[in-house]
C-alpha cells in the first residue's frame, strides 16, 4: 500500500521546481499596510453600532436596517423649466408634492377644530415630489426639457428641509457656505428670493460638480449675471472676509455622511488614512458654523445641517458655536423652535422625538429618507 503512495509523491516532487527565486524577484505581501482587514464601510458600521446603539437605544436596530436598505429620493421640480407640465407628469406617477400637501393641511386645520399650527415660515416656491410611505417606486432619470434645462433634480427629500427652514424672503442676500455638490444651492435659487447668492466650497473638484449642476438647471443669464457667485475659499475665514453681510446663511457642513459611509468605499471618511480627519470633524464644524454666524447681519438667520445621526456633530456643535460667539465676540445667538416642522412633515419623514436642539430626520423603512439634522439660529441684533 505504501509503495504506490511513495511513487506518487516522487512523481509530484519531480514536477515541483525548487530552484531558488533570485532576491530581486521575491515579493512578500505586507498584509497590514496593503490589504486592510476591514473595508471602510464595515468600519463605519462597527463605529455606528458602538455609538448609535447607546444614543438611540431600542430605535437603533430599525434605523440600522433602514440605513443599509435602498434610499428613497424626491424629485425637486426645476422652476426654470416648464414646471407645470413637469409637475403633471410626476403626478401621473402617483407622486405628490410633499411641501404643498403640508401647507394645504396647515390651512385646513382651523376648519377642523384642531389647535392651530404656527405659521410655516419656510422658503417659498419649492416643489418636491415623493412617493407615499411604503412605496419604494423610483423616479425615472431627469431629462432635458423644451427650454434646454433638466426637468427635475433627484435628491434625498429630507435635504430640502434645511432650505425650507431658512425661510427666505424676496430680496435676501444669501450665502451657501459649503455648497457642493449643489442640490441645496439649486433649491435656494428655485425660491426666486435670492437677490445675490454666494455658493462656496473649499474643494475645487466639488465646485466643478456645482458648476455642472448650475449649467444643467439654471438659465445662462442667471448663472453668468451678478445673481450667483461660486467660490472656493476656506469657509472658516468667511467671518473675516465678509462679516455682517448676509440676511440668510446655510451651513451644510462636511460630516460622516452616515448613509454614504455604509454603501460607498470611494471617498469614505472611515478609511484608515482619514482617521484624524474624522476625529477633527466636530472642531471643523464649530468653526464653519461660527464663521457663518459672523457673516450674517445682526438680526439675520443661519441654518446648520448635517446628514449624520451623531449628536457630537449636531447638537454639541450648535452649542459649541453659540458659546464661542458669546465668549469671543460678545454676540448672542438664539435657537429657533422648529417643532412645527415635525408636525407639518410627519406624513413624509420620520423625526427623532427626543432631539434637544434642532430637528433630526431618522431613516425608517416606511419613509427611508435621511438622516438629516437641521437647526435654525437667529443672530440677535
Positions at the binding site for S-adenosyl-L-methionine: 178-184, 201, 234, 252
CA 341 to each of CA 125, 131, 166, 251, 320: distance values in angstroms, whole numbers, following the listed order = 17, 19, 12, 19, 24
Instruction: Report the DSSP beta bridge partners of residue 199.
Output: 176, 230
C-alpha cell at 133: 410611505
Considering the candidates 128, 194, 307, 375, report the single residue annotated as catalytic: 307
273 within 8 A of 218, measured Cβ to Cβ: no
Three-state secondary structure of 126-194: CCEEECCCCCCCCCCCCCECCCCCECEEEECHHHHHHHHHHCCCCCEEEEECCCCCCHHHHHHHHCCCE
229 within 8 A of 199, measured Cβ to Cβ: yes
C-alpha cell at 344: 407639518
C-alpha cell at 37: 482587514
Residues 6+ apart with CB under 8 A from 168: 123, 124, 174, 188, 191, 193, 194, 248
194 within 8 A of 227, measured Cβ to Cβ: yes
Nearest to 194 by CA among 236, 220, 163, 156: 163
DSSP helix/strand/coil, 197 = strand
355 among known catalytic residues: no
C-alpha cell at 378: 437667529
Question: What is the full DSSP assignment across 199-214?
Answer: EE-S-HHHHHHHHHHH
Distance CA 123, CA 164 (A): 5
> Which position has the grid cell 427611508?
368
Q: Which amino acids are annotated catalytic?
A: 307
Amino acid at each position: 500500500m505504501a509503495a504506490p503512495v511513495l511513487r506518487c509523491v516522487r512523481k509530484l516532487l519531480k514536477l515541483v521546481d525548487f530552484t531558488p527565486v533570485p532576491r530581486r524577484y521575491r515579493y512578500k505581501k505586507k498584509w497590514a499596510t496593503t490589504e486592510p482587514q476591514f473595508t471602510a464601510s464595515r468600519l463605519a458600521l462597527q463605529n455606528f453600532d458602538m455609538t448609535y446603539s447607546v444614543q438611540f437605544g431600542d430605535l437603533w436596530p430599525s434605523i440600522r436596517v433602514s440605513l443599509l436598505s435602498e434610499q428613497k429620493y424626491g424629485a425637486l421640480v426645476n422652476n426654470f423649466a416648464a414646471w407645470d407640465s413637469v409637475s403633471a407628469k410626476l403626478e401621473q406617477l402617483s407622486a405628490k408634492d410633499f411641501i404643498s400637501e403640508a401647507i394645504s393641511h396647515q390651512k385646513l386645520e382651523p376648519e377642523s377644530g384642531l389647535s392651530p399650527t404656527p405659521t410655516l415660515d419656510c422658503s417659498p416656491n419649492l416643489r418636491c415630489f415623493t412617493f407615499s410611505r411604503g412605496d419604494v417606486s423610483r423616479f425615472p432619470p431627469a431629462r432635458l426639457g423644451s427650454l434646454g434645462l433638466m426637468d427635475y433634480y433627484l435628491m434625498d427629500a429630507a435635504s430640502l428641509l434645511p432650505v425650507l427652514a431658512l425661510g427666505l424672503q424676496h430680496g435676501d442676500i444669501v450665502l451657501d457656505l459649503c455648497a457642493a455638490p449643489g442640490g441645496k444651492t439649486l433649491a435656494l435659487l428655485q425660491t426666486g428670493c435670492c437677490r445675490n447668492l454666494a455658493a462656496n466650497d473649499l474643494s475645487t473638484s466639488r465646485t466643478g460638480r456645482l458648476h455642472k449642476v448650475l449649467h444643467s438647471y439654471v438659465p445662462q443669464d442667471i448663472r453668468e449675471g451678478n445673481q450667483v457667485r461660486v467660490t472656493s475659499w476656506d469657509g472658516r475665514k468667511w467671518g473675516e472676509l465678509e462679516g455682517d453681510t448676509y440676511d440668510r446663511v446655510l451651513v451644510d457642513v462636511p460630516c460622516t455622511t452616515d448613509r454614504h459611509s455604509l454603501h460607498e468605499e470611494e471617498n469614505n471618511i472611515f478609511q484608515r488614512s482619514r482617521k484624524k480627519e474624522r476625529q477633527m470633524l466636530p472642531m471643523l464644524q464649530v468653526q464653519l458654523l461660527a464663521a457663518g454666524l459672523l457673516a450674517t447681519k445682526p438680526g439675520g438667520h443661519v441654518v446648520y445641517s448635517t446628514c449624520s445621526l451623531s449628536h457630537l456633530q449636531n447638537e454639541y456643535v450648535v452649542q459649541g458655536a453659540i458659546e464661542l460667539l458669546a465668549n469671543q465676540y460678545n454676540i448672542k445667538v438664539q435657537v429657533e423652535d422648529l417643532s412645527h416642522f415635525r408636525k407639518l412633515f410627519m406624513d413624509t419623514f420620520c423625526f427623532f422625538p427626543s432631539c434637544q436642539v434642532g430637528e433630526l430626520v431618522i431613516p425608517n423603512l416606511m419613509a427611508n429618507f435621511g438622516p438629516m439634522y437641521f437647526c435654525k439660529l437667529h443672530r440677535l441684533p
